[in-house]
Amino acid sequence: MTRSSFSPEAFRSRFPLFAQPENRDLVYLDNAATTQKPAVVIDALAEFYLHSNANTHRSSHRLARRATAMVERVRAQAAGFLNAASPREVVFCRGATEALNLLAFSLCEELERGDEIVLSTIEHHANIVPWQMAAARRGLNLRYIPHTAGVPQFDRLGEVLGPRTRIVSLSGGSNALGLRPDLAGIRRQLRGYNLRWVVDAAQLAAHEPIDVQAIGCDFLVCSAHKFYGPTGIGLLYGREACLAGMVPWQGGGEMIAEVGLYQSQYAGLPHRFEAGTSSLAGIAALGATLEFLREQDRTAMAAHEQGLLARLHEGIAALPGLRLLSQPQHNLGVAAFAPEAGDASDLMHWLDGRDIAVRVGSHCAQPLLRAAGSGPTVRASLAAYNSYADVEALLVAVADYLQLDQSLASAAGGTCHWSRDSLGALQLERLAAQRSWQDRYRELLRWGKSISAKPEIRLPANLVRGCEADAWLVHREEGGRHYFAFDSDSRVVKGLAALLLSQVDGREAGEIRTRDLAGLFRELGLARHLSESRSNGFHALLQQIQALVSD
């Protein structure tokens, strides 16, 4: 395997978060959600508030003049970053989501009932829901590119284009699978149609230079925090002729030229789409981000990321017990996988204990994962500051988890009954005595094997509402004592349930009500290490137990 000459260590040294004592061993692989920020971006935020903080365009004092000049300077930088024809084609938004909502509102205002919008199954929810809302409001039709197991066949785009197609809005890169569509091929298929082409480049912008002229789109959106910039600021590119024909989607300050009691005159481009006070410090930091990226060798960065991506997929594919959903070809930098048995969130918590940050869930891509026949996945997403050591650390940690998971499954013996589980051997002292979170997590997983499989109780009426993973609880009272049975696919959730049931099963209502089980959760340090959703699941289960006892 050929590795690029790019130095991830030198690049990583520009990011202060990794220099903090608590983060020196951090393996950060959640970059599709948000990237870390270089020092120059952090400094630019402080610099604005220290030296230039004032509102723009509304005053003539020197701070306002300085802030206004900064905003328009960064707008020109952004035009260069996107290769837009003019700064008038760049609108500042809070991010790609707001930009897509703006387009869905403004573009659809001019459409007629029965007009069509074309999307694909890999779209982020932010590039589906706004169009659904607009379609419901205006009587429009949504059409989707044909797909195989959720993966769009972009070469068949022409099959869903027709005389009523008015908008085609497609991702430049999937945040769930990393899939990078052939934008040049899409452009060729769109020739000759009277429509507007929108590209969601939220994932694309971090991994390669953006050239809207070469892409040939009418609109493009992206978020700064995905490409090493600040949160709360993003870019909407719109071809000037297209922007000029759109109605504003929000009203208020900045976007008007003159206001009367019954009608108003809107400002010129691009200000008519920037109602209210923008994130001025965020714009200042965006300027620093664009300058930072301009100084980098983007080709070498991309080559380094692709080398990591190939090794990551190779390593995951070699691990038995995993289902790999993503492919390294035409991929921006995402590996998506899930355990063949059990709950993906269990693996995420295991990795968190190794100080490896990944993300688990549907990644705002539920239609894609549903079509792929998959539940929540583990997503490891790369940036240029990641290294081969990061990839190997992830692979070793996943292999360790799978080995532990297999041993626990073997020990469970495949029992399938739902009489009372035997929890008497569980010792709180042993759990509390574990020194590291990894050891405590391992012990909690062992506790989970005390909860036998109970397919009979897996009914909608028995679901525990509020658990991240599906979980079922049943209860009966005999002779004034309360007995419970529990089941879930998640071994961590089973472990938490075993902790709770060991304290309440077979006891009287008064004793159960007086036990400080939430306090026990805190004393064992579980609240510090489990995700908020896992902690919420524990408390949801506790509340359901207490409700059953009170009935």
Q: Which two tokens stand for residue 80?
A: 């260069």
Q: How far apart are CA 220 and CA 103, in angstroms?
A: 10
Q: How far apart are CA 544 and CA 527, in angstroms?
A: 19
- 230, containing H or E segment: none
- 400, containing H or E segment: helix 388-412
Contact 335/427 with Cβ under 8 angstroms? no
- DSSP calls for 347-372: HHHHHHHTTEE-EEE-TT-HHHHHHT
Q: Where are the alpha helices (DSSP H) in 413-490?
A: 428-433, 437-448
Residue of 93, 217, 222, 364 marked active site: 364
Which residue matches tokens 């909608």?
460
Q: How far apart are CA 332 and CA 323, in angstroms?
A: 20
Which residue matches tokens 């996988």?
337
Please indicate whether residue 416 is annotated as part of the active site: no
Contact 324/337 with Cβ under 8 angstroms? yes
Q: What is the DSSP letter of 408?
A: H
Which residue matches tokens 């355990």?
339
- Name which of 236, 213, 281, 255 is nearest 43 in CA terms: 281
- DSSP calls for 66-112: HHHHHHHHHHHHHHHHHT-S-GGGEEEESSHHHHHHHHHHHHHTT--
Q: Which amino acid is at 19?
A: A
CA distances from 74 to 91, 199, 227, 289 (A): 11, 22, 16, 10
Q: What is the DSSP letter of 458?
A: -
Where are the extended beta strands (E) located within 453-532?
Answer: 471-478, 481-488, 507-508
- Name which of 185, 202, 155, 169 is nearest 332 in CA terms: 202
- Name which of 407, 394, 483, 396 is nearest 448 in CA terms: 407
At 460 the three-state DSSP class reads helix
Known catalytic residues are 364
